[in-house]
């Protein structure tokens, strides 16, 4: 299990974007970067800098992923047939914590990681506590019976902050979700512009 070593919203200020689209984001009040040099004039960014930024933003969006986990996901995406950018997004969205987050069982990607790790989630009726577990098309992800009355879950399901994407079929009453298929990049509801093509260039260079 990886551990978050920095404040979860610091990446918002570093990128200058509200990458999760949340009202709590500090970017809503302070659009400049963190630290004592955060307000200095921005310099022109190199191609490598743009690629690195795109990688850090996409990796950061999925919460506590380490560099090793993320690069391993890229390697798997590159190994598969088809477009590597699309494969990368499909693999990231197939993670169990991502499916739990998209299904609105929890309010944030960070809560999704913790929710899975603490054993509150079932996949096809079996408890799975590995956030990086890869959900397959047709799998049923559900909240354990004893966890259905948690305030975190009830508040998230009732929240109108975000919608459930088409590649996940959710039964809010039963607190179950069916993973229809791995999505294409254009289907994923990112609140900000993601550039997986630059991420591929970063690793390929």
**pLDDT tens by residue, 92-132:** 999 999 999 999 999 999 999 999 999 999 999 999 999 99
Whether the per-residue pLDDT at 5 is higher than 50: the answer is no
**Element (H or E) spanning 76, and its range?**
helix 67-79
Nearest residue to 61 (alpha-carbon basis) of 14, 28, 118, 123 = 14
Is residue 54 within 8 Å of residue 202, measured between CB atoms? yes
Report DSSP state, residue 145. Answer: G
Higher pLDDT, 159 or 149: 149
Beta bridge partners of 122: 127, 142
Residue 115 tokens, joined: 């929710």
Q: Tell me the average pLDDT across 135-157.
A: 96
Strand bridging mode 121-123 / 126-127? antiparallel
Residues with Cβ < 8 Å from 41, sequence gap 6 or more? none
Q: What dihedral angle (degrees, nearest 10) is formed by the CA atoms of 89, 91, 92, 96?
A: 150
Residues 6+ apart with CB under 8 A from 143: 105, 120, 121, 122, 153, 175, 176
Q: Which two tokens mark 5? A: 């070593």
pLDDT, residue 1, reads 45
**Structural element, H or E, at residue 126:** strand 126-127
What's the pLDDT score for residue 77? 98
| 185 vs 200: CA distance, rounded Å | 14
Do residues 155 and 131 lie in contact, with contact meaning Cβ atoms separated by under 8 Å? no
pLDDT(29) > 60: no
66 to each of 24, 25, 191, how far by Cα in Å?
A: 24, 22, 22
What are the tens digits of pLDDT across the range 35-72? 554 455 566 779 999 999 999 999 989 987 899 999 99
pLDDT tens by residue, 160-204 = 878 899 999 999 999 999 999 999 999 999 999 999 999 999 999
């Amino acid at each position: 299990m990886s551990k978050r070593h920095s404040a979860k919203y610091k990446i918002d200020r570093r990128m200058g974007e509200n990458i999760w689209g949340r009202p709590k984001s500090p970017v809503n009040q302070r659009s400049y970067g963190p630290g004592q040099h955060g307000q200095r004039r921005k310099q022109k960014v190199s191609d490598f800098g743009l690629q690195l930024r795109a990688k850090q933003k996409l990796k950061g969006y999925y919460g506590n992923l380490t560099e090793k986990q993320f690069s391993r996901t890229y390697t798997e995406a590159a190994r598969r047939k088809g477009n590597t950018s699309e494969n990368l997004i499909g693999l990231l969205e197939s993670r169990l914590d991502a499916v739990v987050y998209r299904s609105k069982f929890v309010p944030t990607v960070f809560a999704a990681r913790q929710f899975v790790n603490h054993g509150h989630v079932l996949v096809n009726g079996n408890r799975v506590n590995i956030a990086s577990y890869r959900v397959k098309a047709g799998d049923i992800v559900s909240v354990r019976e004893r966890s259905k009355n948690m305030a975190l879950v009830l508040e998230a399901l009732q929240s109108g902050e975000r919608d459930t994407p088409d590649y996940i079929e959710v039964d809010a009453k039963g607190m179950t979700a069916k993973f229809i298929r791995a999505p294409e990049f254009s289907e994923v509801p990112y609140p900000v512009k993601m550039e997986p093509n630059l991420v591929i260039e970063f690793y390929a260079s």
